[in-house]
Amino acid sequence: MRHASFDALVIGSGIAGLRAALEIAQGGARVAIPTKDAPTDSSSDRAQGGLAAVLSDDDEVSLHYDDTLVAGDGLCHEGAVRVLVEEGPARALELIEWGARFDRVEGGALALAREGAHSRRRILRAQGDSTGREIVRTLVARAQRESRIVLMPRLFSADLVLAGGRCAGLLALDETSGEPLVLSAPAVVLATGGAGQVYRDTTNPPQATGDGIAMAYRAGAEVMDLEFVQFHPTALMLEKAPRFLLSEAMRGEGGRLVNAAGERFMPAIDPRGELAPRDIVTRGIVSEMRRGGAACVWLDMTGLEPAFVRARFPTIAATCAAFGLDIARDRIPVAPCAHYLMGGVKTDLWGRTSIPGVYAAGEVACTGVHGANRLASNSLLDGLVFGARAGKAVLDSGLDPVPGSLAAAPEVLAIAAAEAAETVGELRGIMWDDVGILRDGETLERAIRAILRLEQGLRPRPLERPGIETRNQLFVGRLITESALARRESRGAHFRSDYPRREAGRGRHSIIAPGAAAPDLPIIPVPRSGPADLP
């Protein structure tokens, strides 16, 4: 088995991973970035909306702080929010210094947009609706100029390797050669993104299979708040079309949600109308679809200047045009899709997990910064701010060499590749139908039983990607469902029809803890289900 050694590993080449790797390399350490596919294949690259940061004279950090807390529905970790909004402007300006080309108005000032639940225009954007792609381009270019960074595309991460209770490296598969290899390092930063592919309808790319959460949990790390899955209100809803995200900024610029009769319905649900937090808009759309017996509602931009609409959203315009829709003149059919995971591997404010030497940043991590419902365009900022912090924490750890040899890698359990597609398809249907936007105890228990039945198909197999991804999705889907069953209230993105009210007072975090839970957060104990636990 091949073997290579580095000072640190960063798994994933989205915004959080690239920013963490740059911090580590600029501190003098040699870091490898193994990534499943190409360096630009990530959720970050697809992000349309923008980067939220206070950079205008009529905005204040305190307002961004308050907006984030309100959207988080009483569950945000206030310290994490303070870090996000206070360090965010510097991270945004740093990107500009590194060559990021954000949109500007005549005269050269930054063109700042407004999105749902923001009280000010503070959203930086690039090429109208390609902000994530521009940030990734900037960071990849910076990483390619850094001699201490080794980009390792098409290297699939299978499992963390521990030695003496701490991180020792990574077991991986070189998909180009088909060979397994072990990468040894005293520090690993998980930046693997989210888990949207556990749902039938999602805006996430194929890579979002929950690998980092599953690896961390198997290694003994705590995971937190996994029941909070954000469903984006507006994804393109056309037969045979991909569930393409239609940016929140479209409503921020004046787009309206209407039913089949052309009537607005959101103002009757929330005084903020289409600019209410995402969880409220999503449930409003579902309610209207059920009331009218329709498979979608419509996003209407026809009241705006057509030239402005097409220029402001060029990628969305081109995608919709490919399916015969003119976003400036046609109403666009939309419905909610799984989009973002607020929960993840539990970390402190420096990306440290409960396993020494293992760090996490970006969507795979949970600092509590997003609470029960992420504020629009805070995700790219999260990746930048906490990616940089995780990188600094890695450097501060001392990076002592891993003792001994890691040549003998652990056996990996996975299901056969031939079984993967059928199993994943069934899992995604279970998650969408029973662990989706509206939940209740009976369907959640049914989902756990069904997932446990699928898990019985796990068998020892050779190292291969489809089977391991399937295993990861099964584990993460069950952890999401167990957490949702344990939370007997409705809060943010988590809505229980059998417990429709929010618990009084500050929200309690749910932690699935192989080890001891951190003392600074209230805990909902979430047991690991087994076949004997449910009827």
Q: Where are the domains of the chain?
A: 2-224+339-396, 237-335, 413-525
pLDDT at 385: 98
Q: Can you tell me the mean pLDDT for 154-162? A: 92
pLDDT at 37: 86
Q: How far apart are the first and last CA of the chain?
A: 45
Two tokens, residue 98: 């590194």
- Percentage above 90 pLDDT, the chain: 76
- Is the predicted pLDDT of residue 414 greater than 90, yes or no? no
pLDDT at 511: 92
pLDDT at 419: 62
Residue 171 near residue 182, CB atoms below 8 Å: yes
**Rounded Cα gap, residues 122 and 124, in angstroms:** 6
Give pairs for 401-408: CB < 8 Å, separation 24+.
401/186, 402/5, 402/163, 402/168, 402/169, 402/184, 402/185, 402/186, 403/163, 403/164, 404/163, 406/3, 406/161, 406/163, 406/168, 406/169, 406/182, 406/184, 407/1, 407/3, 407/182
Q: What is the pLDDT of residues 435-484, one digit of tens each?
A: 999 999 999 999 999 999 998 888 777 788 888 899 999 999 999 999 99
Q: What is the pLDDT of residues 26-49, one digit of tens each?
A: 999 999 999 998 877 777 767 667
CA atoms within 13 A on the CB side of 115: 28
pLDDT at 187: 97
Confidence tier at 522 by pLDDT (50, 70, 90): very low
pLDDT at 142: 96
pLDDT at 48: 66
pLDDT at 464: 85
- Between 460 and 361, the more confident residue is 361
Residue 19 near residue 95, CB atoms below 8 Å: no
Q: Can you tell me the mean pLDDT for 343-347? A: 98
Picking from 42-51, 78-87, 241-250, which range would have the lowest pLDDT averaged per residue? Answer: 42-51
Picking from 256-270, 277-291, 449-463, which range would have the lowest pLDDT averaged per residue? Answer: 449-463
- Percentage above 70 pLDDT, the chain: 92
pLDDT at 526: 45
pLDDT at 380: 95
- Is the predicted pLDDT of residue 535 greater than 90, yes or no? no
pLDDT at 43: 72
What single-letter amino acid sits at 258? V
Task: Please indicate whether the domains covering 2-224+339-396 and 413-525 agree at the CATH topology level.
Answer: no
Q: Can you tell me the mean pLDDT for 47-72? A: 93
Picking from 126-130, 297-301, 318-322, 490-494, which range would have the lowest pLDDT averaged per residue? Answer: 126-130
pLDDT at 403: 66
**Could you tell me which residues come within 8 angstroms of residue 213 by beta carbon, excluding any fewer than 6 positions away?**
192, 195, 223, 226, 344, 345, 364, 472, 475, 476, 479
Q: What is the CATH number of domain 413-525?
A: 1.20.58.100
Superfamily of domain 2-224+339-396: FAD/NAD(P)-binding domain (3.50.50.60)
pLDDT at 405: 53
Tell me, what DSSP letter sits at residue 110?
B
237-335 domain in CATH 1.10.10.60?
Answer: no
Q: Can you tell me the mean pLDDT for 81-103? A: 97
pLDDT at 144: 93
Query: Mean pLDDT across the chain, nearest whole number?
Result: 90
pLDDT at 393: 98
Q: What is the pLDDT of residues 173-217, one digit of tens each?
A: 999 998 889 999 999 999 999 999 999 999 999 999 999 999 999
- Between 368 and 127, the more confident residue is 368
Q: How far is CA 98 from CA 91, 101, 137, 142, 333, in A?
A: 11, 9, 11, 7, 39
pLDDT at 186: 96
Catalytic residues: 278
Q: Alpha helix locations (H) across 117-173? A: 131-144
